[in-house]
Amino acid sequence: MFATIVNCVAVVLGSLLGLVVAGRVKDSYKNIVFDGAGITTIIIGVSMALRSGRIVYLAIALIAGGLIGTWLDIEGAILRFGVVLERLTTRRKPKAAAGSTSAGTAAAVEADSVNSSAKPTDDGRSGWDFGHGFLNASVLFCVGAMALVGSFKAGTEGDYSLILTKSVLDGFMAILMTAAMGPGVAFSALPILLYQGALTLAAGFLKPFVSDLMLAELTGIGGAFVLMIGLNLLGLKKIKTADFLPALLLIIVFVLADPLIAQLAVKLGI
């Protein structure tokens, strides 16, 4: 758990530095930070997605997972949680029309969070979105081979090197993302703690199931998520990234069933 805690601290410190940087930079320069974060994220996503060796599994998992996530409204739930975090940690109050009820206020806040985009307003992307900052950073820092393999190495071998390396990378990325998206990025330390901590503690049990194919496909699907984040950051396409999270579970099922699928394909002459 030591390395995971270091990772969380690195993200928080990077986020704090990002807030300092953003507070002293003109809006015109914030555009550059925002675009730089988007391009960097896309590069990371492409490099991860190219690791996939079963593109059919990736495609089916993304489509089916996206449908399931949309039905469950996963992104909406995460953004609502982000609103709760924002209320607990800031003095900002949700806007409400005169005479509106508390239920109406809550609905307005929820709608504002879900419908808002990571892309700021007309002044040159100077606006911050707490919920999307929390969501995008959480996905970016938790998917990928470094989180998975690093947690297993830490849990089974006591080797913290990979997670510590990831901590440095996450810290620098947190600076960029916080400068672009605001303080919600810092709270991605919570999912990192839960996700990597759980993997580290369960490493001895889970490691036998993590083959090279499993690692490659999880990295590939994670790369697809990171690409979505990059597109959102650049304002090229509004994608509800979190709604695709069930694809992670589906890709695991496909990889575990891969031997059976291969045998069936041989029998069918595919």
**pLDDT tens digits for range 120-162:** 444 334 456 788 888 888 888 887 777 877 887 788 778 888 8
* Lowest mean pLDDT across 103-107, 222-226, 253-257: 103-107
Q: What is the share, in percent, of the chain residues with pLDDT greater than 90?
A: 14
- DSSP designation for 27: H
Encode pLDDT of 43-91 as tens digits. Answer: 888 888 888 888 999 999 999 999 999 999 888 888 888 788 778 776 6
Residue 212: partners with Cβ closer than 8 Å, 6 or more residues away: none
Encode pLDDT of 88-108 as tens digits. Answer: 776 654 444 344 444 444 444
Query: What is the model's pLDDT at position 193?
Result: 92
Look up residue 69 and give its two tokens.
Answer: 């996530």
pTM: 0.72
What burial letters (b/e) apply to 168-205, b meaning 16+ CB within 10 Å?
A: eebbebbbbbbbbbbbbbbbbbebbbebbbebbeebee
Round to the nearest angstrom and report the end-to-end CA distance of the chain: 46
Residue 225: partners with Cβ closer than 8 Å, 6 or more residues away: 45, 139, 140, 143, 241, 244, 245
Q: Which residue has the tokens 């995971």?
A: 4
Q: Among positive and negative, which fits the CA dihedral 2, 137, 141, 204?
A: positive
Query: What is the model's pLDDT at position 59?
Result: 93
